[in-house]
């Protein structure tokens, strides 16, 4: 088994990296909450959320010392032109394509906020409350 990353001397980096995991799981849960079938959702390390093996969202984590900024980039209404994706890249897909209907930003933000709220308490009880975005 691999060594615990916290024992490798970069506890701050571990906490910041953990935010990416929490964000990806919360985003996947939000997708399910708005109507995407659980079986369609997968996470691709380190920062992509896939629907039917196509990229629907990405997590961008930028850090500066102990502080950081976390961004969720999701294709709600439309996906980028597949012709713009580099060869071998993951093809894009939008939530509107998967759901067969448009999804408002507010609806997605509410689902994402609820998913985060559902993750905060379990993380805090495991001693990782500083890892929750």
7-66 residue pLDDT tens = 545 666 666 677 778 888 999 999 999 999 999 999 997 788 999 999 999 887 776 655
| R_g of the chain, CA atoms, integer Å | 16
* pLDDT tens-place string over residues 100-110: 999 999 999 99
CB 48 within 8 A of CB 90: yes
The H or E element containing residue 54 is strand 54-64
Q: Which residue has the tokens 């990806």?
A: 24
């Amino acid at each position: 088994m691999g060594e615990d990353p916290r024992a490798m001397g970069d506890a701050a980096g571990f906490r910041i990296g953990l935010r990416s995991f929490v964000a990806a799981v919360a985003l996947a849960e939000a997708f399910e909450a708005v109507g995407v079938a659980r079986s369609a959702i997968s996470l691709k390390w380190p920062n992509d959320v896939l629907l039917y093996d196509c990229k629907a969202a990405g997590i961008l984590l930028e850090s500066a010392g102990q502080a950081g900024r976390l961004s969720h980039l999701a294709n709600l209404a439309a996906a980028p032109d597949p012709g713009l994706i580099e060869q071998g890249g993951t093809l894009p897909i939008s939530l509107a394509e998967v759901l067969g209907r448009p999804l408002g930003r507010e609806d997605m933000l509410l689902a994402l906020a609820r998913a985060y709220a559902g993750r905060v308490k379990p993380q805090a009880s495991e001693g990782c409350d500083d890892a929750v975005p």
